[in-house]
């Protein structure tokens, strides 16, 4: 039998170096500087060999859990989906602004799939007829496409990305909910293996549909979501669905403030009116608010097509009212319930009033409808437009206070029910009457490329990347001195590869045999983020001992070669 070849960095292409470190370098910049990826277009990236190894590790870990713990079968669906399917499901118009759309030479309309609920449901509808074929678990790991308005933060918000989708089909609601709970447990194990402190938060189902969903969030200042959790109980929710606090009273003589937004179709200007100062109902504490404190999800409950991604609405509204591009139809005034109701009366009518029209623009020649909505939302007459603040009371328990933190979504689980199975005809015959019954569905995603970007961002330090062993490009690198004998490095390599037990699970050793000075290779190893470094330096020459380094644990230890497997094994089991 031919022994496995020694993995050598001299045989791997990764253009590290050549890019200067910036003063405030984020994880994405380190991915570029370490040679793991390169940008191809806005929001799109080429994955280079070391980056591809990380991607393969994430995919392999996720796939293992899908198959071993959920008995799911892997499929590979086409990246091209027919618009007609999305019309049948009723989703096409809702997400049209984020789709890459095209037609073939016969003028048949297609799109690059941002997700595959329609395609998988259509496939199962054509293939599964009897309830005896359920439950069914199908998953894929594939490229997805979304025409993001503003791609940013590298892999964290891209236009082309790698996604794991699991689609589940059950006979009954009870069985589907059991599946949902099992998937949630498996997700916990996946993120635990990656050593990422992910929060599972109850969330809105949004355009996906269904009435039960959870998001899996990594707390980070770069996050676009806000997660609300209790210090005493298990209350963890996305801010979008957090129970609002009771509205405070507007302070006497508090000035009005206004925030302006615009709808996705650029037809409506949305003015949100709110008090600048309020007094807490409990303590009487005076609080100051700005537009940054507005809960846009609450505003969206009143104006569902509000484009929350637009930070400055006036340039878009200027184009909307222009004669040559006229799309504007209405000005909507949404008024916080703490303001006097007389304000709503003064803002209505068929012609824009001075108080509701942006000062930077002139009203259009053609009058617009101006509507005013006062204190409305979810049937409440006292809607609170302000975000929950840290320290507010928990709505679930009497003893806890709320913590609010920015977070990034890495995964999402949805119980869809019959949202797609009914319109797309995914039915089974059920005894005793044999009547067709729609399948109960779930869909469960993990952003593979986003996990890579999030792990890089969360674990990086000023020195470089710092991968957990489960998804590191190599979990251990051996670095000999430039004048060291290659046979010595190979001896150490095989000694480490002989590890057995828990530390073996994610073991992946590489020899850095590049003809570079030792300090350069050590700096490069720290930048790339190998979890464990084994150095054949001065100690090796004088006492045949290696130096084991682990930056995350702050460890530098001289180790006898006979003890090396035990030391490396324990490190790998804990990192």
CA 172 → CA 54, 105, 210, 418, distances in Å?
39, 43, 15, 10
pLDDT of residue 282: 61
CA 274 → CA 251, 256, 281, 282, distances in Å?
12, 6, 17, 20
Which one, of 303, 304, 322, 302, lies nearest residue 314 by Cα? 322
At residue 352, does pLDDT exceed 70? no
- Mean pLDDT, to the nearest integer, of 509-514? 95
H/E element, 182: helix 173-193
Dihedral, CA atoms, 403, 407, 413, 417, nearest 10 degrees?
70
pLDDT of residue 380: 46
Predicted confidence band of residue 235 (pLDDT cuts 50, 70, 90): very high
At residue 527, does pLDDT exceed 90? yes
Greater confidence (510 vs 334) lies with 510
Which one, of 15, 1, 75, lies nearest residue 51 by Cα? 15
**CA angle at 21 for the pair 19 and 22, rounded to the nearest 5°:** 120
At residue 7, does pLDDT exceed 90? yes
Tell me how far apart the alpha carbons of residues 506 and 572 are, in angstroms, rounded to a whole number: 7
pLDDT of residue 65: 97
- 3.40.50.300, 3.40.190.10, 3.40.640.10, 3.30.930.10: CATH of 27-77+114-241+404-456: 3.30.930.10
Task: Specify the DSSP class assigned to residue 272.
Answer: E
Predicted confidence band of residue 354 (pLDDT cuts 50, 70, 90): very low
At residue 30, does pLDDT exceed 90? yes
At residue 3, does pLDDT exceed 60? no
CA 394 → CA 239, 240, 372, 403, 489, distances in Å?
13, 16, 32, 9, 58
Which one, of 292, 293, 289, 260, lies nearest residue 275 by Cα? 289
Contact 492, 534 (CB under 8 A): yes
At residue 454, does pLDDT exceed 50? yes
Supply 401's token pair: 């206070």
Percent of the chain residues topping a pLDDT of 70: 89
Which ranges in the chain are annotated with CATH 3.40.50.800? 474-574
Tell me how far apart the alpha carbons of residues 303 and 263 are, in angstroms, rounded to a whole number: 8
**Phi, psi values for residue 174, rounded to 5°:** -60, -45
Tell me how far apart the alpha carbons of residues 236 and 403 are, in angstroms, rounded to a whole number: 9
Position of tokens 């300090």?
A: 519
- Domain 474-574 in CATH 1.10.1060.10? The answer is no
Tell me how far apart the alpha carbons of residues 446 and 396 are, in angstroms, rounded to a whole number: 29
pLDDT in tens, 143-158: 999 998 788 889 999 9
Contact 470, 194 (CB under 8 A): yes
Task: Specify the DSSP class assigned to residue 516.
Answer: S
pLDDT in tens, 254-306: 778 888 999 988 889 898 888 887 766 666 677 788 888 888 878 887 888 88
CA 153 → CA 92, 157, 209, 221, 408, distances in Å?
27, 6, 28, 12, 11
Coil/strand/helix, residue 551: coil
Q: Torsion-angle region of residue 244: left (phi > 0), alpha (psi -120 to 50) or beta? A: beta
Rounded to the nearest integer, the mean pLDDT of the chain is 87
Q: 172-181, 282-291, 362-371: which range is least confident on average? A: 362-371
Q: How many CB atoms lie within 10 A of CB 499?
A: 21
At residue 215, does pLDDT exceed 80? yes
pLDDT of residue 333: 84
**Length of the chain, in residues:** 575
pLDDT of residue 331: 85
Coil/strand/helix, residue 217: strand
- Mean pLDDT, to the nearest integer, of 369-381? 58
Greater confidence (271 vs 104) lies with 104
At residue 379, does pLDDT exceed 50? no
Tell me how far apart the alpha carbons of residues 336 and 314 are, in angstroms, rounded to a whole number: 21
Q: How many CB atoms lie within 10 A of CB 185?
A: 10
Tell me how far apart the alpha carbons of residues 504 and 568 are, in angstroms, rounded to a whole number: 9
Chain mean position to CA 10: 35
Contact 536, 522 (CB under 8 A): no
Contact 378, 242 (CB under 8 A): no
Tell me how far apart the alpha carbons of residues 465 and 531 are, in angstroms, rounded to a whole number: 9
pLDDT in tens, 384-432: 678 888 888 888 887 888 999 999 999 999 999 999 999 999 999 877 7
pLDDT of residue 432: 76
Cα atoms found within 13 Å of the Cα of residue 572, Cβ hemisphere only: 27
Contact 421, 172 (CB under 8 A): no
**pTM, 2 dp:** 0.85
Which one, of 134, 139, 209, lies nearest residue 178 by Cα? 134
Contact 214, 183 (CB under 8 A): no
Which ranges in the chain are annotated with CATH 3.30.930.10? 27-77+114-241+404-456
């Amino acid at each position: 039998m031919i022994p496995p070849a020694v993995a050598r960095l001299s045989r791997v292409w990764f253009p590290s170096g050549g890019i200067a470190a910036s003063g405030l370098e984020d994880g994405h910049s380190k991915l570029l500087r370490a040679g793991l990826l390169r940008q191809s277009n806005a929001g799109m990236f080429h994955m280079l060999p070391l980056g591809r190894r990380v991607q393969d590790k994430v995919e392999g870990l996720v796939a293992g859990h899908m198959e071993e713990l959920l008995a799911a079968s892997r499929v590979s669906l086409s990246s091209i989906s027919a618009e007609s399917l999305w019309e049948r499901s009723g989703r096409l118009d809702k997400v049209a602004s984020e789709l890459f759309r095209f037609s073939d030479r016969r003028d048949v309309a297609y799109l690059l799939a941002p997700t595959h609920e329609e395609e998988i449901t259509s496939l199962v509808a054509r293939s599964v007829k009897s309830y005896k074929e359920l439950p069914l678990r199908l998953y894929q790991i594939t490229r997805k496409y979304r025409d993001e308005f503003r791609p940013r933060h590298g892999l964290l918000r891209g236009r082309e990305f790698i996604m794991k989708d699991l689609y589940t089909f059950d006979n009954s609601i009870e069985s589907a909910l059991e599946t949902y709970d099992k998937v949630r447990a498996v997700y916990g194990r996946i993120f635990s293996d990656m050593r990422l402190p992910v929060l599972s938060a109850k969330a809105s189902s949004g355009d996906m549909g269904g009435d039960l969903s959870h998001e899996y969030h990594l707390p980070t200042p770069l996050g676009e979501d806000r997660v609300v959790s209790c210090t005493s109980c298990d209350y963890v929710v996305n801010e979008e669905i957090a129970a609002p606090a009771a509205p405070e009273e507007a302070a006497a003589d508090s000035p009005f403030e206004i925030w302006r937004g615009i709808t996705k179709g650029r037809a409506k200007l949305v003015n949100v009116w709110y008090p600048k100062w309020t007094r807490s109902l409990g303590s009487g504490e005076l609080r100051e608010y700005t537009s940054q404190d507005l809960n846009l999800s609450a505003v969206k409950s009143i104006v569902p097509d509000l484009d929350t991604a637009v930070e400055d609405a006036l340039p878009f509204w200027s184009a909307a009212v222009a004669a040559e591009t006229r799309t504007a139809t209405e000005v909507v005034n949404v008024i916080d319930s703490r303001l006097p109701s007389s304000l709503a009366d003064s803002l209505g009518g068929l012609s824009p009033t001075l108080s509701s029209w942006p000062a930077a623009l002139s009203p259009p020649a053609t009058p617009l409808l101006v509507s005013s909505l006062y204190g409305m939302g979810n049937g409440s007459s006292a809607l609170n437009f302000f975000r929950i603040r840290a320290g507010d009371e928990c709505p679930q328990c009497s003893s806890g206070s709320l913590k609010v933190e920015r977070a990034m979504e890495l995964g999402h689980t949805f119980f869809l029910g019959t949202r797609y199975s009914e319109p797309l005809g995914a039915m089974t015959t059920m005894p005793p009457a044999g009547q067709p019954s729609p399948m109960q569905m779930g869909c469960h995603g993990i952003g593979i490329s986003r996990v890579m970007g999030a792990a890089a961002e969360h674990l990086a330090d000023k020195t470089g990347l710092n991968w957990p062993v489960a998804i590191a490009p190599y979990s251990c690198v051996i670095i000999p001195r430039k004048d060291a004998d290659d046979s010595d490095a190979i001896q150490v390599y095989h000694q480490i590869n002989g590890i057995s037990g828990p530390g073996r699970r994610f073991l992946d050793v590489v020899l850095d045999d590049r003809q570079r000075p030792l300090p350069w290779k050590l700096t490069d190893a720290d930048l790339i983020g190998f979890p464990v470094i084994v150095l054949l330096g001065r100690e090796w020459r004088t006492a045949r001992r290696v130096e084991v380094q682990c930056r995350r644990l702050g460890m530098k230890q001289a180790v006898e070669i006979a003890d090396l497997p035990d030391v490396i094994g324990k490190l790998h089991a804990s990192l």
